[in-house]
Chains A and B, each alone.
Chain A
Amino acid sequence: MGKIRTPYLLLLPGFLFLFTFFILPIVNLAQTSTQTPIAGGDTGQYEQTLRFQNYIDAFIENREQFSRSFVYALIATVLALMISYPLAYAIAFKAGKYKNFLLVLVVAPFFTSFLLRTVAWKQILGEEGFVVPTLRTLGIISPSTTLTSTAFAVVMGMTYNFLPFMTLPLYASIDRIDPRTLEASGDLYANAFTTFRKVTLPLSMPGVVAGTLLTFIPAAGDYVNAAILGSPNTKMIGNVIESRYFKIVDYPTAAALSFTLMAAILILVTIYIRKAGTEELV
């Protein structure tokens, strides 16, 4: 009997944790999302009226921020992939004895706070930083152009902040590729580009999928980068939810937006995984 119970006992802590910190809040959030203000009540007082119209109202009101979130997240994900792939490839195949050192460097930004690093970028991209004056001197941007409070800064911040989440799964996946299969490809009349297209890339697809998901999902819900590096014109859905909760104290709308965001991400991710067809590779 004891032996049969052991696995369940081992599952118990994890289950309790998930129940307390995932299931309960989700249920609570779901309940909140259909509430309406109590007639004549104070700010922040709501009652359950099962008003599903909340979802439609919230969505229509914030369509722009929704689409901006997904566009920014998509651009940041593509940029992170373009930066990370050569990096992960070099670490896996070319780094030799410096492999572990380079991996530590990839993770190193995590040693300081996410918030601090984003604030640091505000300084770097600001008027007092070296980037803007340099670009102005070189004539790449006009003297009146600024970089902070722009969509560019927000997307750049997200790309930077989520880069390790892209690099690490890519590295893990590329590192598993037997370099002899690449030699075999060259031996079988494939040049370097064809070898990449037909062998390296397909074999690293699990890493590409994992990395893009780990970047896209948090990026789509992110509000820190837009809050610090952006302007009211670059507001993302995360910022809307944040202000609805903490500033306007409009819990039902915030909850409805959260659920809509979750559903949208879930649908997009499902389609993506289906399309990528990595099931048989893993």
Chain B
Amino acid sequence: MSFDASSARGDLILTRITKEYGDFKAVDDLTLTIPKGSFFALLGPSGCGKTTTLRMIAGLEEPTVGSIHLGETDITTTKPYQRPINTVFQNYALFPHLTIFENIAFGLRRRGIKDVDAAVNKVLNLVELPHLAGRKPTQLSGGQQQRIALARAIVNRPALLLLDEPLGALDLKLRRQMQIELKWIQKEVGLTFVHVTHDQEEAMTMADTIAVMNEGQIEQMGSPAELYDNPETAFVANFLGQSNLIKGTISGNDGDSIIADLYGQKISLPKKRSHAVDNSIYAGIRPEKFRISLLNTPVSGNVLSGGHIEDVSYIGVSTQYQVAMPWGQELIVFEQNDDGVAPFNKGDAVNISWEPIFTFALRGDEDVTAGSEVNPEVLDEE
């Protein structure tokens, strides 16, 4: 019955995976390759199918259609206990009747590994909790339980480590600290991590590659910088950070650039950042890429004029402005507080400008609110 883990090493390949529960498609024709040794994040709102995907990789669910390969080995129907894959569960799922030591030793003992003590102590040192070996899980804080859950999984040196919202139950400060530690541990042990989260900041901090999931499909996949700077859909543009999306039409070409008309004002944007299929577009600009200037100040790059400062919020490192434009849209602008003074006041007539290379273009028939009304703090089980 034992599974030859040595042959099942390598990239994880999901091929045309679909998972149906009755009429509901939790995962819809998903194809994905997760390279060996990477820190990969599946990011999306509650109910997008990311946890279902993770459970299929772990073997806790079986796909309705499709196959899962680990390296050359087909593991689609392999039982969880025969897969060289371990999971850090959302609420840790530590064994309450066993000591911390025995919790960590559980997987090693099942596989009949000889030197359990050394392996457990080594991983306890890695998570910096060697003094807790004799305790029971209920005697530990949430952050400590989280580390033990991680230790219990990585002590087995799996081909793949799955993390299901591992930091969801921790407070913000501890979450930040654990993000950095997880990333460090991943580098240290050199395992493939697949991390499921609804928290875009968490995904961006830790992952090499992020797949943004929505309604059972992958919306876009890439490095955090690629996804942030060049989102292909309104969902990605809104779910990862904030975006200003302005309706317009393509009016011409200029070398590598596209000239677009936004409510009568001409702007340019790089061709390779346009995901439009026809002349109708939404031009997208991140709030921190905008610059605000008073009417008589000379500006370079793309300019949209006729704005009025509608609201000013001082946040500390930056100031957030809401600028009302002539066509009735309010744009959001983040200005760094370099000189420590908020230089614009409510009611000021201003122009907005930005470098053309920071512009991206989405299809004009997109739902501009997609991904923006999702409350990432809502943590329901999928």
Give the B-binding residues of A (Cβ under 8 A): 178, 180-181, 183-191, 194, 198-199, 202-203, 280-281
Contacts and interface: CB of A to CB of B under 8 A. Distances in A.
Given A186-B79, A190-B81, A194-B110, A199 B1 contact: no
B106 A185 contact: yes
Nearest to A281: B97
B106 A190 contact: yes
Contacts, number: 66
B89 A180 contact: yes
A189 B156 contact: yes
Contacts of B89: 180, 183-184
Interface of B: 1, 58-60, 79-82, 85-87, 89-91, 93-97, 106-107, 110-111, 136, 152-153, 156
Nearest to A198: B106
A59 B196 CA distance: 68
Given A190-B81, A191-B79, A183 B110 contact: no
Given A178-B93, A186-B59, A187-B86, 16 more contacts: A183-B80, A183-B87, A183-B93, A184-B94, A186-B60, A186-B79, A187-B58, A187-B59, A188-B153, A189-B111, A190-B81, A191-B81, A198-B106, A199-B95, A199-B97, A203-B97
Contacts of A280: 136
A188 B79 contact: no
Nearest to B152: A188
13 contacts: A180-B89, A180-B91, A180-B93, A184-B89, A184-B95, A185-B106, A186-B80, A188-B107, A188-B110, A188-B156, A189-B82, A189-B111, A190-B106
Contacts of B81: 186-191
Closest 4 CB pairs of A and B: A188-B107, A180-B93, A189-B110, A184-B93
Contacts of B97: 199, 202-203, 281
Contacts of A281: 97
B101 to A, nearest CB: 14
Contacts of B58: 187
B95 A190 contact: no
Given A180-B89, A202-B97, A191 B156 contact: no
Nearest to B137: A181
Contacts of A186: 59-60, 79-81
A158 to B, nearest CB: 31
A102 to B, nearest CB: 23
Contacts of B152: 188
B137 to A, nearest CB: 10
A96 to B, nearest CB: 14
Nearest to B60: A183
A1 B370 CA distance: 65
Contacts of B110: 188-190, 194
B96 A203 contact: yes
Contacts of B79: 186, 191
Nearest to B102: A198
A191 B91 CA distance: 22
Contact of A191 (B1, B86, B87, B94): B1
Contacts of A202: 97
A198 B136 CA distance: 16
A181 B97 CA distance: 11
B95 A181 contact: yes
Given A180-B89, A194-B110, A187 B80 contact: yes
B96 A188 contact: no
A281 B138 CA distance: 11
B378 to A, nearest CB: 20
Contacts of B60: 183, 186-187
* B1, B90, B93, B111 interface centre (most CB from chain A within 10 Å): B93
B328 to A, nearest CB: 50
Nearest to A205: B97
A271 B152 CA distance: 35
Contacts of B153: 187-188
A190 B110 CA distance: 6
A282 to B, nearest CB: 11
Contacts of A187: 58-60, 80-81, 85-87, 153
A104 to B, nearest CB: 28
A203 B79 CA distance: 23
B96 A184 contact: no
Nearest to B2: A189
A192 to B, nearest CB: 9
A199 B97 CA distance: 8
Contact of A184 (B59, B85, B87, B136): B87
A200 to B, nearest CB: 10
Nearest to A194: B110
Contacts of B136: 280
Nearest to A201: B97
* A183, A184, A188 interface centre (most CB from chain B within 10 Å): A188
A187 B96 CA distance: 16
A183 B149 CA distance: 13
A188 B1 contact: no
